[in-house]
Structure 1
Amino acid sequence: MELEVRHLRALCAIADAGSLHRAARRLGVAQPTLSTQLSRIEQALGGPLFVRERTGCRPTPLGRTVLGRARPLLADMSTLVREARAAATGGDSRLRVGSTASRALAGWLRRLRRPGLEPSLQMDVSANALLRRVADGQLDVAFVHEVEGCPLHVPEGLRLRVLVEREPQFVMLPADHPAAARSVVRLADLAEDRWMVDPTVDGEWDGVHRMLRAVGLDPRVLHGDYHTAASLVATGEVVTVCQPSSQSRPDMAVRRLYGDPLGVRLLLAARTRTEVDAVYPALEEAYWEVARQSTAYREWLEHTGARTAVPCRPGAVPEEDRAVCAPVR
């Protein structure tokens, strides 16, 4: 049996998913088919690549060696295909952008677009999934957020650059909520409210739960996505955490939380430093443009006098990849 690109993709999918069942679902094949394929690959390579356990699969030492070679090969193959297609279409190229939700996306994509370069966009609520796609060569860059206290699983070899070291998370509540009359809301003011959280967002439920538990709150929680949360906030059903760049509307208010109890780190990831540096300025400009458009966030920035709530953490990202924390412009 000769190994093919599809076999390497299968191995990476199993490693990333942590189980044959989840990997098969991502690859769009039946689990028995993937299991048979894995057995044939292991037979061809001369040993087991994964240890099968009740909780899933984990790479063996041989598996880690193979995966370490497979990932860059897949990335190189993806680059080759993309460059070949660009040459075949007269030089037009696509920049494959991945991102978690952000109001800065529209401005970022607009700034990236130029003759001969057309950015495409792939959204995902999972920052970890986007980082894996960058590592596997399925995306060129990804803009993701890391919830405080819930570190992302960054694949080996990715280059990271911090856009914002700690972006405070605000709260979105009905416009007629008593707490909306104040510019800063205490969590105790929301003790009787139901909260909505998106459990599919990496780290969000853990972060919100930890924030509420720290002040002794154990509210009723509904699960839903951002759009559902906004519609339920508008009708007075729930409150929810939100990005500080969110804007108030006649039926809902965006307010700062007292003490800024929850934050996220905003990161840009790519396989090379060159790719990161090529798209970072456009992202930075787009982000601070929408930041200034939000009254609540603009007031917070003016109050703190800085773009970030805390200094850059030494060692969190390689020194040469760390964005400079500077006063807001």
Structure 2
Amino acid sequence: MQLELRHLEAVRAIAEAGSLGRAAVRLGVSQPALSAQLRRIERVAGGELFARSRVGVEPTPLGEFVLSVARRVLGEMDALTAGTRAAAPHPALRIGCVPLVLMDRLIGRLEEELPGHELDIAIERSSTTLTRLLGAGQYDAVLYGEVADHEVPLPDGVTARTLIPKEPVFIRLSNTHPLACQEQINLADLAGETWMTMADDDDGGPEGMVDACLRAGFTPRLRYRIADRKMCYDLIASGRAISLSQPTSPPAEGTVVRPLAGDPLTERIRLAWNRSALSERRAGLLYRAAGRAYLDNVPNNAFYQAWWATRPELHPVLD
């Protein structure tokens, strides 16, 4: 057996995860399979690479040497792959995204920033699925949200950059709702409502929503879980439910989007890319396109536009 790149990736994953179990999850394999692979690698290397204990693993002196070489070789391979893709005349750009409002304007902005490039864009319902597929090479870059303090785990070989560090979560309700005429709504005043839960359940949103409601003194009554945007809006317009909303969401007939007093729940938007697929330059152009797409939607809501104008420190840096 000879050492291959996949073996070096396994060594790096084990060292960074600190345990075989966590490394196996990152690599998408079973722990017994990873343990067997590590034993084969150690036979080739001539000794143990990790010292095992009840709390995890730590590199041995031999392991530190192999790990340093692995990181250097894998870094050079990332640079080689990114360089060859960047040098191609019209390399396709494969983007994954959760259903963020900025996607409505992203294609147009990408065509301006990367003219002539083929675009392959897919929507996923799970942020975790997005990042896993990014690490597996199915996407070059992904756009996703993180609600409250939740952090989506990122695989090896991925770089992330925050696009919008803080965005308040608004509420969408029927335009005939008694609170629809208010410029902002206290979350506690929604205690008796029927809520539509978020379709994405691994970005911290459901937990953040429940925690915010508990702090306001009530447990939300969750009834509907619908992924289709038009169906959601129709249900809200009929007065049968309310839902959380991005403040940049476009108007929908029969509904209004209002801020929650005190911003009890916030989200951030992040861009992550696979370093072996995107050069720093192309990643920068994608970041700028996403930032401009986001700014295009800020005027969708006058309340948010006023909030946004007073917080320049949150604006994406697009130079």
Structure 2 Cα separation of the partners of residues 162 and 84 of structure 1:
26
Task: Give the structure, 1 or 2, with the largest relative contact order (CA under 8 Å, sep 6 or more).
Answer: 2
Give the Cα separation in 2 of the matches to 1:144 and 1:118. 21
1:23 to 1:100, Cα distance in 2 relative to 1, 3 A: farther
Is 1:288 the counterpart of 2:288? The answer is: no
RMSD over aligned CA atoms reads 4.4
Which residue pairs with 1:265 in the alignment?
268
Matched, 1:305 2:309: yes
Instruction: Give the alignment of 1:24-63 within 5 angstroms.
Output: 27=28, 33=33, 36-45=36-45, 46-47=47-48, 60-61=58-59
Alignment of 1:169-318 (within 5 A): 169-195=169-195, 196-198=197-199, 200-222=201-223, 224=225, 226-227=227-228, 230=232, 232-234=235-237, 236-270=239-273, 271=275, 273-292=280-299, 294=300, 297-302=301-306, 305-306=309-310, 311=313
Instruction: Please report the TM-score for the alignment, with normalisation by the length of structure 2.
Output: 0.71
Q: What stretches of structure 1 of length at least 5 have no aligned partner?
A: 313-321
Structure-2 change in CA distance of 1:9 and 1:182 (3 Å): same
> In the alignment, what sits opposite 1:166?
166
Q: Structure 2: 5+ residue runs without aligned partners?
A: none
Task: Tell me, yes or no, if structure 1 residue 144 matches structure 2 residue 151.
Answer: no
Pick from 92, 95, 114: which aligns with 2:93?
95
Partners of 1:137 and 1:112 in 2: CA distance: 21
Q: Partner letter of residue 164 of structure 2?
A: V
What is the rounded CA distance, in whole Å, between the counterparts of 2:302 and 2:157 in structure 1? 36
Shift of 1:287: 1.0
TM-score with structure 1 length normalisation?
0.70
Contact 2:97 2:144 in 1 (8 A): yes
- The one-letter amino acid paired with 1:108 is L
1:243 maps to a residue whose letter is Q
Rate the CA distance shift 1:33–1:249 in 2: closer, same or farther, 3 A. same
Of 76-85 and 93-102, the range deviating more from structure 2? 76-85
What is the DSSP-based 3-state SS (H/G/I as helix, E as strand, rest coil) of the residue aligned with 1:117?
A: coil
Q: Aligned residue pairs: how many?
A: 305
The equivalent of 1:118 in structure 2 is 118
1:4 aligned onto 2:4: yes
| Identical pairs, percent | 32
What code does the residue aligned with 1:286 have? Answer: A
Partner of 1:316: none
Which sits farther off after the overlay, 271-280 or 223-232? 223-232
Q: Secondary structure at the match of 1:93?
A: coil
Structure 2 CA distance, aligned partners of 1:107 and 1:98? Answer: 15
SS state at 1:149 partner: coil
8 Å CA contact retained: 1:159, 1:273: no
C-alpha contact 1:301 1:307 (8 A) present in aligned 2:
no
Shift of 1:23: 4.8
Please state whether the residue corresponding to 2:268 is helix, strand or coil: strand
Q: Give the SS at the match of 2:92.
A: strand
Shift in Å, 1:112:
2.0
Q: CA offsets, 1:152-185, max 9 Å, x none? A: 5467886554432311111123444332343422
